[in-house]
Amino acid sequence: MQYGTTMTTAAILMTLVVAAPLAAGAADEKAQTTTQEAKTMASDSWLTSKTKISLFADERVKMTQISVDTAKGVVHLRGKVDSAEAKSAAGDVAQGVEGVKSVKNDLQVVTPAARQAVDANDKDIAKAVETRFGKDSQLKKVDVRTDAGVVTLTGQVATIGASAKASEMARGVPGVKSVKNQLAFAK
């Protein structure tokens, strides 16, 4: 029996010696992934700030009507501008910022004369969508933004079914031209 126990103990020790570096490697990989995610978030925040400053400094673009978000180096422009030229200029300015991988330009062209009516209508649409979502426990925390009748949904939901339901409910609101569903699924 002594010989069998010694062999079993040796086998267990050998397994631990071999497995330890593998476990340490997995921990290192997780640490590297977490560090990379933190760097990406910091980098995205920096790109957002640099883009906002660049847009504010450019006379062709009225920055007050533009919101800027960045994810993984992709700058997303939303809001309203006075002309197609201003929209194009905003995209060019954002693309010219060092470190920007690409630009998603969702700016809406709304003439100053039509802006007041569009802004009022957008607020009514967003409020109507939020009211509908408030009645559904799965959708209460969904963020709603409306630009020229285009509803953008952000935040987290539990399932793909809840995401689809949110899109369907938003489309049913009078005045909604389209829905951009950017909802993430909770893990």
Tell me if 39-109 shares its fold with 112-185: yes
Strand 66-71 versus strand 74-81 pairing type: antiparallel
Token readout for 43 is: 């980098």
So where are the chain's domains? Answer: 39-109, 112-185
Model confidence over 26-77: pLDDT tens digits? Answer: 556 665 666 665 565 668 889 999 998 899 888 888 766 788 989 899 999 9
Nearest-angstrom CA–CA distance, 52 and 181? 24
d(CA 55, CA 144): 24
CATH architecture assigned to 112-185 = 2-Layer Sandwich (3.30)
| Residue 156, SS3 per DSSP | strand
Q: Tell which residue, 151, 143, 66, 157, has the closest CA to residue 109.
A: 66
Q: If residue 69 lies in a helix (H) or strand (E), which one and from where to where? A: strand 66-71
Please list, in sequence order, all residues whose beta carbon lies within 8 angstroms of the beta carbon of residue 80, skipping any fewer than 6 positions away: 65, 66, 107, 108, 109, 110, 115, 118, 119, 147, 148
Mean pLDDT, the chain, whole residue set: 81
Q: Specify the CATH number of the domain 39-109.
A: 3.30.1340.30
Tokens for 144?
């709603």
Residues of the chain short of pLDDT 70, as ranges, are: 1-42, 63-64, 113, 115-120, 187
Amino acid identity, position 185 = F
Q: For position 59, what pLDDT does the model report? A: 87
Q: Tell me the C-alpha distance between 181 and 167, whole Å.
A: 6
